[in-house]
Structure formats: structure tokens, C-alpha cells
């Protein structure tokens, strides 16, 4: 009898694979041209955090902004104590891309990651399938994939992404600003590329490149410590690294309470939810005009409602409220 692992491997075998080996090296080595210079089949990869001032002064001058986008990632894990996908190196997510007109392009990403111990080298096998094809196909492997998407609770991450290209090499830098489903935020920078950087580069202070987790692993470290501990035990997360975590407010070096609303209105990919947020905001402003001062809704409460809508969608509308 075929196992879930067999079905997933069959899905991977049906399409050309992105089978790339990544070396996790400090950007200092990458920028000095020392990492993997003799192996074009490998790429250096490094995820890190840093403050906005360091980013603007130490990184941006060497890169060109090539694109901005917004999307939602929903990660799924098989709901079975005997078989957890993430524990076995499987990372399955539904990705919802949004264009300027708020039209959605949905695809399923299947990734199998094999790491060494310690996890300095990882081999990645990846396949991306349009969601419509996943719904249409009748093979047992697609049936099992649909069961994962339909029966498992998803972990929702809203992502605002900037992509940069290095001026003198094939290296790319991706900056992801993330809103977790519980309302917390996170920023992660990711280098990818072959070694070739100009030797004239002066970015040699590795202390500003503070290592961090990937988006989903950062979420698990905060909200599913049992699974996160197992990933460490199995060598899928390097326990020796001193991981840093940075919120969007910490990145901007701005007080958390001062920027919640600006984050809500400038972050995220769902225009419908933005309209709902604006509606609710005006709702409470109008209500406060009618209420005695002691009974008015606080600014903090209104911020909480707006942020909750962004994460979870609208939950109610008072029918007797006259917006006009």
C-alpha cells in the first residue's frame, strides 16, 4: 500500500525539478568571493536580519530594486501524530499571488528539503503546481494532496516582498515583510547566488548580518515549540546559531503603538480587507461622536479591531449603523 510519502514523491517525479543544493554561509564570505567559487551547481544562501540604517548604508548601494509584490502563503501539515510533514522535510503551501487589480493567481508549492547534520548543506527538491490543476487531476497522488489542503489547518502568512539584484553578480536579495496570522510581524532578508562578488566590496562586518529563521520556522518557534524542538533534534534547524528576530517596528526603530495603523494600511495584499478596515475605522469614529466621552472606544481598541480584520477578515457589521 502506497504511503503519503510515496504519493508526494510521485508528484515530484512528474515534473522537472528545481534540485538545488544550498550552502549556508555568512554573507561576508559570499561578498568576498570565497564561498563555493568552484562549484556552479551550488548556491550560497543566508537569511538574516538587520536594522533599516544598516540596510540602507551597507547593502542597498550594491543592489538594484527589480520588483515588488504581495502574496499570501498558507502552510499545511498533515493532521496525524504519526506523520507530520514538516518533521520529515516536506513543506507544502498554497501561495496566493495578487496583482494590481487584486486578481489572484493560486498555486501549490511542494518542497522537500534534505539537510546534513549540522545543517550546513541542504538539498532542495521543489515543484509548483497551479491550484486549478490540483483540483482537476484524478490521480491518487493528487487526491492525497487535495486531502492535505482540505482537511488540515493552514498557517497563514501575508508577505510584502521586495526583490533586489546585485550590480556585479548573479546574487539576489529578497526582503520579506511578514504578518503572521496572530497579528505579529517579522522581517527577513535572504541572499541567494553563486559566489561572484567584486573584490572591491567593503561589506566585511559579519556582525550586522544577524542570522534568522525562515518565515515559517520563525512562526513555529513562537507558536509551536514542540514541533520546533523536533526540527532542531532532527537537524533541520541549526541549534548552534544564535537566531535573531526583528519586527517591522524594530526594523524601522519606531515605537510599536505609533505605527500599527500605518502598518495595517500599507501592509498586506487583500484590497477587500483594506476596504473593510477603513469602513470599521470610520464606523467607530462616527460612533464616538455620538457617545459620551467616558463611553467612547479607545484608539487602542480601534487599532486592535483594524488589525484583527486584516488577519481574520470581517466578523460583524452592526446593521443599524448609518455610514452616511
**HEC sequence for 161-208:** EEEEEECCCCCEEEEEEEEECCCCEEEEEEEEECCCCCCCCCCCCHHH
Q: Does a structural domain hold residue 265? A: no
Q: pLDDT tens digits for 98-115?
A: 765 556 789 999 998 887
Q: How far apart are CA 301 and CA 304, in angstroms?
A: 5
The model's pTM: 0.75
- Same-domain status, 248 and 276: no
Q: How far apart are CA 94 and CA 110, in angstroms?
A: 9
- Same-domain status, 31 and 58: yes
- Same-domain status, 248 and 274: no
Q: Does a structural domain hold residue 324? A: no
Q: Does a structural domain hold residue 259? A: no
Residue 290: give the domain boundaries. Answer: 270-312
Q: Does a structural domain hold residue 105? A: yes
Q: Does a structural domain hold residue 304? A: yes
- Comparing 75-89, 90-104, 268-282, the range with the smallest average pLDDT is 268-282
- Same-domain status, 220 and 283: no
Q: pLDDT tens digits for 268-322?
A: 445 566 677 778 888 888 888 988 888 888 776 776 676 666 655 554 433 333 3
Q: Does a structural domain hold residue 181? A: yes
What is the tally of structural domains in the chain? 2
- Same-domain status, 68 and 215: yes
Mean pLDDT for all residues in the chain: 76
Residue 250's pLDDT is: 85
Q: pLDDT tens digits for 198-235?
A: 333 334 455 677 889 999 999 999 998 999 999 988 88
- Same-domain status, 219 and 288: no
Q: Does a structural domain hold residue 300? A: yes
Amino acid at each position: 500500500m502506497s504511503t503519503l510519502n510515496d504519493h508526494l514523491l510521485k508528484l515530484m517525479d512528474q515534473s522537472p525539478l528545481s534540485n538545488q543544493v544550498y550552502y549556508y554561509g555568512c554573507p561576508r564570505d559570499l561578498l568576498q568571493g570565497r564561498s563555493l567559487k568552484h562549484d556552479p551547481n551550488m548556491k550560497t544562501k543566508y537569511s538574516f536580519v538587520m536594522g533599516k540604517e544598516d540596510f540602507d548604508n551597507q547593502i542597498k548601494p550594491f543592489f538594484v530594486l527589480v520588483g515588488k509584490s504581495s502574496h499570501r502563503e498558507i502552510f499545511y501539515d498533515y493532521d496525524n501524530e504519526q506523520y507530520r510533514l514538516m518533521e520529515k522535510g516536506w513543506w507544502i503551501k498554497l501561495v496566493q499571488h495578487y496583482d494590481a487589480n487584486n486578481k489572484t493567481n493560486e498555486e501549490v508549492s511542494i518542497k522537500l528539503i534534505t539537510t546534513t547534520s549540522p545543517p550546513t548543506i541542504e538539498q532542495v527538491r521543489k515543484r509548483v503546481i497551479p491550484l486549478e490543476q490540483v483540483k482537476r487531476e484524478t490521480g491518487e497522488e493528487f487526491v492525497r494532496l487535495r486531502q492535505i489542503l482540505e482537511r488540515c489547518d493552514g498557517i497563514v502568512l501575508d508577505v510584502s516582498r521586495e526583490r533586489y539584484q546585485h550590480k556585479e553578480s548573479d546574487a539576489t536579495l529578497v526582503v520579506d515583510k511578514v504578518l503572521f496570522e496572530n497579528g505579529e510581524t517579522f522581517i527577513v532578508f535572504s541572499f541567494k547566488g553563486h559566489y561572484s562578488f567584486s573584490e572591491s566590496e567593503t561589506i566585511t562586518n559579519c556582525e550586522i548580518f544577524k542570522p534568522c529563521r525562515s518565515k515559517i520556522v520563525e512562526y513555529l518557534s513562537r507558536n509551536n515549540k514542540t514541533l520546533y524542538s523536533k526540527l532542531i533534534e532532527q537537524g533541520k534547524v541549526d541549534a548552534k546559531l544564535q537566531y535573531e528576530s526583528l519586527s517591522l517596528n524594530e526594523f524601522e526603530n519606531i515605537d510599536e503603538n505609533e505605527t500599527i495603523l500605518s502598518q495595517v494600511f500599507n501592509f498586506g495584499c487583500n484590497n477587500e480587507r483594506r476596504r473593510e478596515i477603513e469602513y470599521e475605522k470610520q464606523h467607530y469614529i462616527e460612533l464616538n461622536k455620538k457617545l459620551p466621552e467616558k463611553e467612547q472606544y479607545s484608539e487602542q481598541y480601534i487599532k486592535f479591531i483594524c488589525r484583527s480584520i486584516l488577519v481574520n477578515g470581517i466578523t460583524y457589521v452592526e446593521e443599524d449603523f448609518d455610514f452616511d
